[in-house]
Structure 1
Amino acid sequence: RIAIFDYEGNLLATISNLDDPEGVFALNHLQYPGPSQASVYIANTDDNIVTVYTSALTPTFSIRGLDDPRAVYADRKGYIYVSDTNHNKIKRYNRYGELLMQYSGSCTTSLDKPVGICLDNNGNLWIADEENDRIVKIGAPTVDETMAMRMFSLPKAAPSIKDAYAFPVPFKPNSGLGHTAISFKLYSTSNILLRIYNIAGELVFEQAGITVDPYIWSVINNWNEPVASGVYIYFLTDDTKERKIGKIMIIR
């Protein structure tokens, strides 16, 4: 969970239903038009998402397709920076969660498990590049963002099954949130195999030959029974033999 305290150490609120959150950031950022607005950004690390909350702690949207995001940062214009640690990239999004740019290192030394990020008062981006035992500084963009375009590389490869994710997670059908099924965004339609296991490693559900994207799972097992509350592991692969392993949580 995330716990929020006042300056005297008094607990004000908590954000629960998270899975090993390792990064949190809060900011009053500018609105165009309108006054500034407070947002809370949480890197929900083991769920592989970053979620943005209002000052009232209401979730507004989530950034998905990440792998072990360790840190999140935002600037006053609403741009969001995420350390996508296991993808070895720093990603920059607009205020709506749309990917704008990503940085994977220099031509000589790529990032290796970037874990921490921050911006200084001059707009320079600082990266803790863990496995390379170094701190990387990226200069602030010029007015026309020429520097930003040089330092960040536009996404080169189309998303694939390796970028697949499940939503909504956690799945809470009795929460009043309208959860009726879990969707898998696959980025592929090439005879996908989906397997879902419980935490003991027992096969709960299997579907082969999937050719639709997204695939809608009714949260039932192979015997058409509702799947009980708990943590489950999903496995995805397709004709390319690439694969994705992820985690989902069901709370009934």
Structure 2
Amino acid sequence: MPTKKQTTLLRKQSGSSAEILSLLENEVITTALKTIVREAVKEAMTIVNGRCSAMQEHIAALESELGAQRARSEDLERKMKETPETTKLATIDFETKERKRSIVAINIPEGGSRLAHDNNKMVIDEVSLILKHLDIGYQPTAVYRMRKTRDDDRPRPMKIILPCSASHMEIMRRAHRLRSFPTGQCPPVYLRPSMTKEERDNFRMKWMQRRQSRRNSQDTQHKSNNNTADTLMM
């Protein structure tokens, strides 16, 4: 048999359950509870959707960065493969541009000093005299001997790099004035454009052909003069 206290507690619980059932059957309260639950769920879904959107944006940003990194990596690999050929073309282009503003002086005497600095100073002074003789207002950007010292003691060609191709053309137009440039006991100084090996070989071959042609012409003229003299003496 339950005690009086237990009986009282059971009655209170029964009464509470009845009250709850009564409240749940109340349409106003039921509607209010549904509204509260619906709003709570809606708020929770809004928070979840916001977090999902933020995560999607973050994932999209990561994918974009990954794509950019991949593109940079592919571009770097492509450039690494192209570098040797690109460098070669750039070097050829630089050499071509430098050649267009360079001339080569022949028969400028070598310096006799044991110090390379003194020999170079003498060469610079000699080039300055040549430019002065040609009445050229430009100053060379570089002057240096080409190739190694010759075994036959002949002076090495001298490369003169000028500030622009216009100065190169102006000097070559006036190069014939060097016929009157004083060289003492040394061979006359003359200038030629800076050329590639193939251009030099072609230039040398044409020069030898012209030289041989002049010799043949002189021999023909000499024979013609002799024949004329013989005819006059007959």
**Fold in common (TM above 0.5):** no
Larger radius of gyration: 2
TM range (shorter): under 0.3
Q: Which has the higher contact order (CA 8 A, sep 6+)?
A: 2
| Greater share of helix | 2
